[in-house]
Chain A
C-alpha cells in the first residue's frame, strides 16, 4: 500500500485556486465611478438604492430562469407568464383585505403582503409543475420548439388573465407603512425599495445556502454541469428538473408580486414586458449561474438608473449596451458555467 501512496503522491502538487474576483468588483466600481458624475451625494445614494432595489426584483424573476436553463437546457420564453400570474394572484389577497393594506400597522401590512406572496408562490409553483409536464416535457432538447411553444404558453396565460381578471388595468395599492421614504441627511430612500433590497438579498442568500450547503443544491450544480453523470451516480435528474422548474416558477411569482407592488398597476403583459430584461440579465451573468445572474441584475439596473439621470436617451438602450460590453469582454457571460 505504501508504494501506491508514494506513486500517487507524485501527482500531488496543490493546484492554485483562481478566484475570479473581477465580476464581483463591477457593481461597487460602477457605483463609485458614478459618484463624481452624478455630482450630488444624496442624489447618488437615492439613485443607487433605487437601482439596487430594481436589480433585486429583476434577480428574483431571473434567478429561476437561469437555473432552469442551466439544469434543463430549456429556453423558457414563457417565464414572464409566471411573473404576471404571481402579480395577479396577489390581488386575490390584497384587494379583499384592503383594510389590512390601508392599516397603519407594519405587522398587518407585512402579514397581508406575506400572505399574498405565499399564495402567489404556491399558485405559480403549481402552474410551473403543470407547465413542465404539459408544455416543456415533450420538447426537451428541441430549442426551436421550446421557444415557439413557451411563447405560445405565455400568450395563452395572458389571455387567461384577461378572462379571469378582465382586460382593465388593476390598481395595486402599496401598503400604508411601505409608502414614503426614510430621509438620511438630504438623501431620500423609499421604504418599499429598501424592502425590495431586503427580500432580494434574502432570496439570494437562501439560494446560495441551498446550492452550496445541501445535497439537493450540490446535485443541481452538478446537474447544470453534467446531468448524465448525475444520473450515472443514481439520481433521477428528471425529478430535479421538476423541482427546479417549480421553484423557478415560484420565484418568478414572488418577483411578480414585488414588481406589481412597485408598479402599483397591473396589466396581463406585466411579465411579458420584463421578459427581455430578464433574458439580458441571465445572458450577462452567464447562463446557468445564480451568482452571475445576481451581479448581472444589479449591473443592468444600476446602469439604467444612472443613465436615466445622466443621459435619459442612453437609458433607452442601456440594457443592450451593458450586454454588448460584457459579452465583448466575456463572450459566455460574467460567470460561465463549466460545461458551456
Chain B
C-alpha cells in the first residue's frame, strides 16, 4: 500500500485556553474523497485549519506528501500543494470572479495568462462562472460564491483540496450540481471534505472519518458506513444524543 498523502498523528490544537483537538489521528489516502463527519463543535473545521497552518498544533505531527508541515507557515503549506476552501468561502467580494481566480493562479503574472483549457474544464463543472466572469464576487448568491471558492481551489493543479462544508446554506438544486461536480473532480483530485450533510457525502465519499470531542472516533470506508445503519446511528446518532 502506498504512503498516505496526508497523515495526522496525535494532533492537539489549543485556541486560547480551549483545548479543541485532543489527539487527532487521520489518514488521507492519495486520490478520491475522504469525508470528515461530525456534529457542530466536534473539531472538523479546526482540523482543516490546523492542517493549513492557520492554527498550529500544540502537539502531534502533520505530514503531507512525505514532509512534516506541522509548524510550517500557511503560505508554505499552500505552496506545497494544498488548496483550502473555508466554510465562509473566503471570497474577495470587492474583486471580480476573474480576479479571484487570478490570485489563486500563483504561477501566472497576468490574468490573461491563466490556462484557458483548465478554465474551460472548470466551466464544465460550474458553467455559471463564465457568465459572472467580470462580476464583483460580492454581488453573487451563496451558491455562486461557493462555485467561485471551489473554482479558485482548482484553478491550478493541487495535490490536495481541503473543503469545509460546501453545501452549507445552499438550495437542493445547487447541492445536486455540487454532487455532480465533485464526482468529476474526484477523478483527478484528492479531496478532504468536511460535511454535516450525510446524504451528500454518502453519494461521494470513498473513505470516512467521524469526529467527536476533538478526536477521530471512527474511520473506514464510506460504503461500509453507508450500508450499516446501526453504525450510522451509533456514530452520528450517539454523538448527537451525548450533547443534547
Contacts and interface: CB of A to CB of B under 8 A. Distances in A.
Interface stretch (A51-59, A90-98, A126-134, A229-237): A229-237
Interface string B100-127: 0011101001100000000000011111
A235 B75 contact: yes
Interface string A235-256: 1110000000000000000000
A215 B103 contact: yes
Ranked nearest first, the 5 interchain pairs of A and B with the lowest CB-CB distance are A7-B177, A234-B78, A12-B128, A5-B127, A229-B90
B15 interface: no
Q: Do most interface residues of chain B lie in helix, strand or loop, or is the interface mixed?
A: helix
B160 interface: no
B173 A233 contact: no
B140 A3 contact: no
Contacts of A14: 131-132, 135
Nearest to A232: B84
A211 to B, nearest CB: 10
Interface residues of B, number: 47
Interface string A217-231: 011011001101111
B199 interface: no
A11 B92 contact: no
A12 B136 CA distance: 14
A225 to B, nearest CB: 5
B127 A232 contact: no
Given A12-B131, A215-B109, A4 B74 contact: no
B3 interface: no
A236 B72 CA distance: 12
B232 interface: no
A16 interface: yes
B90 A15 contact: no
A164 interface: no
A232 B176 CA distance: 28
B103 A218 contact: yes
Q: Do most interface residues of chain A lie in helix, strand or loop, or is the interface mixed?
A: helix
Q: Sort chain A's interface into a size bin.
A: 35 or more
Contacts of A219: 103
Contacts of B40: none
Given A4-B125, A232-B74, A221 B92 contact: yes
Interface in A198-219: 215, 218-219
A8 B52 CA distance: 29
Contact of A15 (B78, B99, B135, B152): B135
5 contacts: A15-B141, A16-B139, A218-B95, A222-B95, A234-B106
A236 B77 CA distance: 11
Contacts of A15: 132, 135, 139-141, 144
Given A228-B54, A229-B86, A338-B94, A7 B173 contact: yes
Interface string A55-80: 00000000000000000000000000
Contact of B144 (A11, A226, A229, A235): A11
Interface in A8-66: 8-18
Given A231-B54, A236-B73, 6 more contacts: A4-B125, A4-B177, A15-B135, A215-B110, A232-B86, A232-B90
B5 interface: no
A5 B54 contact: no
Given A218-B99, A228-B54, A7 B140 contact: no
Nearest to A14: B131
A328 interface: no
Given A4-B177, A7-B180, A234-B79, A225 B93 contact: yes
A222 B103 CA distance: 9
B184 A1 contact: yes
B180 A338 contact: no
A42 B192 CA distance: 69
A231 B104 CA distance: 11
Contact of B174 (A11, A236, A237): A11
B242 interface: no
